[in-house]
Homo-oligomer: A and B are copies of this chain.
């Protein structure tokens, strides 16, 4: 039995998305910058995709830019807010994705005019909005707050409306990495004020190699990647038209099927948690479990034993795909910066299971039984 429980790392592409991409690959091969009919057809696909994304996020089409990944989008938001908007302080959290943390690290090495501050997080990975408020109050320096919507390792979410309100009250820019939430939660950018927002195709049953950045019209930047002036001068390079069409289709499908998928996923999650104690003793859960959590991410921990060192490999042998922390690392199991930030006890082994609507209760049961076998 093959059980894919690593949907926070990446998802299979939905068949209707593959169809859209195949059609674009086979027929729509013009360069969107060409003014002839082949070019215009490609341009039309790009622009209708942009419109779809904008409508879903309740943004204007002029605020949506296609990039190669959320990683690129997040790099861009941070770099360009410094260069173009005069940001001189960045407030972030220690549980951000490495594409934010390592960008901040590179900035600290390469420039000496930007102050980087980190909020503390509690044992559930929650930031303290009072601390954010206090930090913003303490200085008038132009500030970017970079906080992810939902954590990719432990699933803890922020109250985005509240964080947005605090940032707005202090004229701080807000960058939100929504890789784990875009399409899955209702993001209404006409109501929730966000300066920069990023998303990725391959977490929502869309393709890899495509992402978006939303840049609010009030804080438009210049490009990080310069060239032929594509994406209205904001992101050059011939457009990845299949990826773009695939992203828009995946996001639409996600929104259409959101309620149903969420119901299925909550059922699987609850089933896992209710059955787990029957198979695995002393199982605990990392991250917020009560409110503001990502239903598709379940980070568990069990007591470390001789056997837990090889647990990921053994789960794999039994056909179960899961992660130690996140997938975005060198391929070697590294200590997780998120678990470190929440002071996870060092005598426990963490495994992240992440669900999709394709999973079944049988798969969950098989996983729990296998987990029992390989951990004790």
Contact = CB atoms under 8 A, between A and B. Distances in A.
A302 B318 CA distance: 70
Interface in A275-326: 312-313, 315-316, 319-324, 326
Interface stretch (A31-39, A129-137, A363-371): A31-39
Interface stretch (A101-109, A212-220, A251-259, A265-273): A101-109
A226 B22 contact: no
Interface of A: 4, 6, 9-13, 18, 21-22, 25-26, 29-39, 43, 67-72, 74-75, 83, 97-99, 102-103, 105-106, 110, 200, 202, 207-211, 222-223, 225-230, 236-243, 312-313, 315-316, 319-324, 326-333
B237 A68 contact: yes
Nearest to A100: B227
A37 B25 CA distance: 28
Contacts of A9: 30-31, 33-34, 39
A36 B315 CA distance: 8
B33 A6 contact: no
A4 B27 CA distance: 13
Nearest to A333: B35
Contacts of A323: 34
A92 to B, nearest CB: 14
Nearest to A39: B327
Contact of A227 (B38, B71, B208, B236): B71
A243 B209 contact: yes
A210 B207 contact: no
Contacts of A11: 29
Contact of A18 (B25, B223, B228): B25
Given A10-B30, A72-B225, A209 B322 contact: no
